[in-house]
A = this chain, B = another copy of it.
Amino acid sequence: MINFETLFKITYGLYIVCSGDKNKGNGFISNTVFQVSSEPVWFAACCNKNNYTAELISKTGAFSISVLEENSSAETVGKFGYKSGRELDKMAGMQVQYGDTGVPIVLNDSIAYLEFRLVRTVDVGTHLMFIGELINAEIIDDSKDPLTYQYYRQVRKGLSPKNAPTYIDQSKLEKKTVNPLSKKYKCSSCGYVYDEATESIKFDDLPDDWICPVCGTDKSDFIEIQQS
């Protein structure tokens, strides 16, 4: 028997994985970034097969990883976590540096970065696992803590997007009882739920320029959840 709540006991960080070049770069937020070998230093990063960045990593043969800080802005998380690079240029307006391989490295909200040359690609079902050899690594800000997936879930109320290896269909999780008088509103971009039962302000009373605390989406793009 699989209790899907168990999956939340696994510890992850949150990272921006980038590839491409100066003309066309892209990146996405990944929690499955980890060292797999010590000498030489090899890392693995998992990427949904549909992700535009997967295409760029395969083409360029290189990728970068930026380690997000605990209080990363909703704008950065929203852009790289819940939008597709096929529809917008994610590098526009960002603080970007280019590595020895030419890949973009995002510096916004990042405490460290690493650059890799691709050594192997492993097919793991819904995802590709890119294995890379570390060629550059530097700390940007040693005073801040890295953003962890647990902190993102518990403190910032974020959910895994559909393309993440750790995405869980909400119907597989235990249902919590609800107060029938309070309403819930869901962000159409990232799935964050504004639950009036646990907030001090009704959704309608929030200012018009209020944005999703997780991904920065406008208040007008929230949808009321029908509770039966």
Interface residues of A (CB under 8 A from B): 1-7, 9-13, 32-42, 44, 46, 67, 111-114, 120, 122, 124-127, 129, 131, 134-139, 142, 146, 148-150, 164-168
Contacts and interface: CB of A to CB of B under 8 A. Distances in A.
Contacts of A167: 38
A165 B2 contact: no
* Identical copies in the complex: 2
B126 A165 contact: no
A49 to B, nearest CB: 10
Contacts of A131: 122, 124
A226 B80 CA distance: 49
A73 B55 CA distance: 45
A163 to B, nearest CB: 9
Nearest to A131: B124
Most B C-beta atoms less than 10 A away, residue of A6, A122, A134: A6
B67 A4 contact: no
Contacts of A2: 41, 134-137
